[in-house]
A and B are shown apart, each in its own frame.
Chain A
């Protein structure tokens, strides 16, 4: 009975993890998948397996590639966690110790909700537990002793010393405590004899499962998940998805605003709708600290060299020090813009074609060489507005550069400069009209007839606590109050 309950709890936990991780953390999963690479070449296997902890790393990377489809990836991880619990349970002589068998997989599940922990952790635990179980099953003592020594040496070099954390400064103590605790649980399970406590193990199992289900969701970093989700939508060019996600939701981070502004631009609505969302200076357009997203923005604007630079730096700065498929796809796209750089794109493409999910990847054609600057200048991260001005001056036909340049001027509240560039423009979306009205009012010019009533109403409300909310989506409100 208790063993059956244990199996039900184990399956329930795996299913809970599958659904929760696959549905609630799919942005994070896509991020992890993008930062990893698994090649179907002997060279890659040799290189990976040759390193310390290579087997755990290699298997971990193998499973991670399936994060491409989050529900598939989380199902495999759920299965791995269930296998781990089952492996530990195999040591249990007594039903009373069965609830303990769930602990290592629960701890792994909770740690995996933090994207810094890698799949090498549950893989290493699983391999070690099942290897220990297999050794214990050997009947002949000297063979058992030999296998134990061999397995221990192999496990130490090729499994335990794995890359369980993506950052160089890893919580090594925590890792070894988890390993030791799992070993201890196995030992306890193996030595505690059968006791007559029929219901206690069952109740403990159910209670543990319930505690896990309550605790686990709280371990997800919602802000990071939001950013990861927006980043993924940018990566797959799902502009409608971004706007649908943003509709009615507060954007918790400037990075989310970056993605929304980009989506608006790609749908041709930046000038019209950008002030429907909270804006805060030019960092609402791009944040260079976040290299992935900013490289996408620069690329789509036509700053291809700089986009490539940031994508490359992001790859080089990957905490795991490995290349990711995300970076390779970007480097293909960014290098394939013109014939000059296409052989470099081919090099990255050759690598992608050795993966499972990108073997048919081809470069996109969202940017053409005509959008790029034709007169050289050094990119200055400190003055994005000026860089946009350079690009717009060189390529006035680049509408994305035009809209972003206008948006940057508006966000920096440089309305007179804005007027000098766009005062005579035939294209004049809502925010532009509002900005031009501000210049007109400062310079004593005339208000556009279609805005007259609106301006009078705004002026009547100005400074009063009530009523201004109606105008929070105007450039005037941004200009005066942000």
Chain B
């Protein structure tokens, strides 16, 4: 039966392509976004797409004996039927016809692999105009990955146009969440540590403002970098702006006591320490460190590791370099939650890799200490922020590969051998929606449930002071 279908289907799809002959191109269509050969989880929204330059497309998606046929200006795949198909198949085959300039073209079929590895149901991110200093509209949003539903966690429409960012959940769990807010309602919204939600004032006279957070696996601590950040504007076409630190240290925040612990080893004024993250077992603190330099282009961060004692909230042993490369700089180390991998971003200098087109993703095998560039994920443009799913089978990363400016989240599956399958763009309800979205998707993080925050706490409560140890 299957064999008969495999002969009949191409004929059917060609017939379905409309009146007149269909010119067989013998090539793959130019898909927007490119979904040919990607690997997706079973619980993912339809990968709607269009064919570049096509006025109309007709698509047939088959898996086993089931199929979906859609036609229109783009492939608008029905959500329920898509999920039904994904629930039964390990491999989808897509046949596409496109009408371009009044003529129908037929293309080579392509496949989509369906993985049994589950993915967290939500993606949390900030949406921001990819700009410079002012923030008219920005917000933290969450997206249901099995549909196109996006909800606002918090946006700045009711506060002064201040910045907000560095939202962070502990191991994809919404029960432990933090969010920095700047401006007249500034503070850090905190959930976790067994205490009620609160907004704390992290400012104190002993440390710089807390910036990049990372939760300890116990949920009791958050490691923060404290950064004195500056930005300057380039004047040559290939560069836009440079964000750099004049000073930076690392502190650890005890969520149960609302207390900051200054770590003298990581508060060296001759060095710049930033992007702290805890290992999967919580016993190691990874971070990036560079010597200070007069010229920002000479600042190159190495990947460091130092022991962390969670009982006493102190460091153990001496910091050691675990990866560095001549003329390269490391940012955003992110260990997988299963303890096997450590992914990081490598650029030519500095730590604000999103404005570096050369920035690429690398990954270290923590067992062997060997690192490699992730060629299967990287593009000629920027790849920067990334984070792992709770089961460490999926990774979401920021990329500017579409146009060099608007950051979009891509999701990729990792195999047992540490190689990634071809990544796919976060599904959008229509390619036009993505095209007209003039905001970047920033700091994408998987989440196992929806995050909700008490906005009244932000608008109407005093900021809780913290202590510094």
Chain A residues with a Cβ under 8 A of chain B = 39, 41, 43, 168, 303-306, 309, 312-313, 315-318, 321-323, 337-338, 340-341, 343-344, 346-348, 350-351, 354, 369, 372-379
Task: Name the residue on A nearest B129 (C-beta).
Answer: A316
Identify the closest chain B residue to A344 (Cβ): B405
**B137 pairs with A321, CB closer than 8 A:** yes
B256 at the interface (CB under 8 A from A): no
Q: Which chain B residues (213-262) contact chain A, with CB distance < 8 Å?
A: 232-242
Closest Cβ of chain B to A120, distance in Å, is 16
| Minimum C-beta distance from A54 to chain B (A) | 13
Complex alpha-carbon distance, A43 and B435, angstroms: 12
**Are A315 and B235 in contact, with the CB atoms below 8 A?**
no
Asked if residues A305 and B136 are in contact (CB atoms below 8 Å), the reply is no
A268 to chain B, nearest CB (A): 25
Q: What are 25 inter-chain pairs, A to B, with CB distance below 8 A?
A: A304-B237, A305-B234, A309-B233, A309-B241, A313-B132, A315-B129, A316-B132, A316-B135, A317-B161, A322-B136, A323-B438, A343-B402, A343-B403, A343-B405, A344-B405, A344-B406, A347-B403, A347-B405, A347-B438, A372-B237, A373-B235, A375-B236, A378-B232, A378-B242, A379-B233
**Pick the contact of B404 from A43, A313, A322, A344 — CB < 8 Å?**
A344
Nearest B residue to A372 via CB reads: B237
Which residues from chain A contact B404 at a C-beta distance below 8 Å?
340-341, 343-344
Known contacts A316-B129, A321-B136, A354-B436: A378-B161 contact under CB 8 Å: no
Max count, chain B CB within 10 A of own CB: residue among A43, A304, A316 = A316
Contact of B129 among A312, A343, A376, A377 (CB under 8 A): A312
B157: Cβ under 8 A from any A Cβ: yes
Chain A neighbourhood of B405, CB < 8 A: 343-344, 347
B418 near A: Cβ within 8 Å? Answer: no
**Most chain-A CB neighbours within 10 Å: which of B131, B161, B235, B242?**
B235
Report the separation of the CA atoms of residues A49 and B34 in the bound assembly, to the nearest whole angstrom. 32
Q: Are B237 and A317 in contact (CB under 8 A)?
A: no
Q: Which residues of A contact B402 (CB under 8 A)?
A: 343
A52: nearest chain-B partner, CB-CB:
B157
B7 at the interface (CB under 8 A from A): no
Residue of B nearest to A43 (CB): B433
Is the Cβ of B436 less than 8 Å from the Cβ of A350? yes
Q: Are A321 and B403 in contact (CB under 8 A)?
A: no
B324 to chain A, nearest CB (A): 25
A98 to B241, CA, bound (A): 61
Q: How far is the CB of B407 from chain A (nearest CB, A)?
A: 12
Pairwise interchain contact B132-A312, C-beta atoms closer than 8 A: yes
User: What are the 7 closest A-B residue pairs judged by CB atoms, nearest first?
Assistant: A343-B403, A316-B134, A378-B232, A321-B136, A344-B405, A316-B136, A376-B236
Contact of A321 among B133, B161, B406 (CB under 8 A): B161
Give bound CA distance, A344 to B407, whole Å.
11
Tell whether, in the assembled complex, residue A312 and residue B435 are in contact, meaning their CB atoms are under 8 Å apart: no
Q: In the complex, which of the residues B133, B135, B237 has the most CB atoms of chain A within 10 Å of its own CB atom?
A: B237
Contacts of A350 in B (CB 8 A): 435-436
- How many whole Å from A294's CB to the nearest CB in chain B? 14
Other A-B pairs beyond A317-B161, A321-B157, A376-B239, 7, CB < 8 Å: A168-B160, A306-B235, A321-B161, A340-B237, A341-B237, A343-B402, A376-B236
A341 to B233, CA, bound (A): 16
Q: Are B403 and A317 in contact (CB under 8 A)?
A: no
* Residues of chain B lying within 8 A (CB to CB) of residue A341: 237, 404
Bound complex: CA A309 to CA B160 (Å): 21
Name B436's contact: one of A39, A344, A375 (CB within 8 Å).
A39
Q: In the complex, what's the smallest C-beta–C-beta distance from A130 to chain B, in angstroms?
A: 29
Residue of A nearest to B135 (CB): A316
Which residues of the other chain, B, contact A354 by a CB distance below 8 angstroms? 436
Chain A residues with CB below 8 A from B438, complex form: 323, 347-348, 351
In the assembled complex, which residues on chain B have CB atoms less than 8 Å from the CB atom of A43? 432-433, 436
Contacts of B234 on A, CB cut-off 8 Å? 305, 376, 378
Give the residues in chain A near B161, CB-CB below 8 Å: 168, 316-317, 321
Give complex CA distance A322, B405 in Å: 20
Q: Count residues of B near A (Cβ-Cβ below 8 Å).
A: 32
- Chain B 410-442, CB-CB to A under 8 Å as 1, else 0, gives 000000000000000000000011011010000
Nearest chain-A residue to B133 (Cβ)? A313
Verify A41–B432 contact, CB threshold 8 A.
Answer: yes
Instruction: Tell me if A376 and B235 are in contact (CB < 8 A).
Output: yes
A305 (CB) vs chain B CBs: closest residue: B235
Report the bound CA distance from A305 to B235 in whole Å. 5
Bound form: Cα–Cα A346–B236 in Å = 20
Question: For residue B429, which residue of chain A has the nearest CB?
Answer: A43
Q: Mark out the residues of chain B between 140 and 180 whose CB falls within 8 Å of any chain A CB in the assembled complex.
A: 157, 160-161
Which residues of B, 300-314, contact A by the 8 Å Cβ criterion?
none
Choose from A305, A369, A372 the contact partner of B240 (Cβ within 8 Å). A305
* In contact, A305 and B436 (Cβ under 8 angstroms): no
Q: How far is the CA of A423 from the CA of B67 in the complex (A)?
A: 79
Within 8 A of A (CB), among B254-305: none
Output the least CB separation between A358 and chain B (Å). Answer: 14
Instruction: Specify which chain B residues have a CB less than 8 angstroms from the CB of A379 in the assembled complex.
Output: 232-233, 235
Given contacts A309-B132, A312-B132, contact A347 B232 (CB under 8 A): no
Bound-state CA distance A369–B137 (Å) is 32
Among residues of B, the one whose C-beta sits closest to the C-beta of A390 is B235
B111 to chain A, nearest CB (A): 28
Residue of B nearest to A169 (CB): B160
Please provide the chain B residues from 181 to 234 with a CB less than 8 Å away from any CB of chain A in the complex. Answer: 232-234
> Which residues from A are CB-within-8-Å of B436?
39, 41, 43, 350-351, 354
In the bound assembly, the distance between CA atoms of A199 and B350 in angstroms comes to 81
Specify which chain A residues have a CB less than 8 angstroms from the CB of B136 in the assembled complex: 315-318, 321-322
Are A374 and B236 in contact, with the CB atoms below 8 A? Answer: yes
Give bound CA distance, A316 to B134, whole Å. 6
Residues of B within 8 A of A376 (CB): 234-236, 239
Give chain B residues whose Cβ lies under 8 Å from the Cβ of A322.
Answer: 136
CB distance from A289 to the nearest CB of B (A): 14
A374 to B236, CA, bound (A): 6
Residue numbers in B under 8 Å from A313 (CB-CB): 131-134
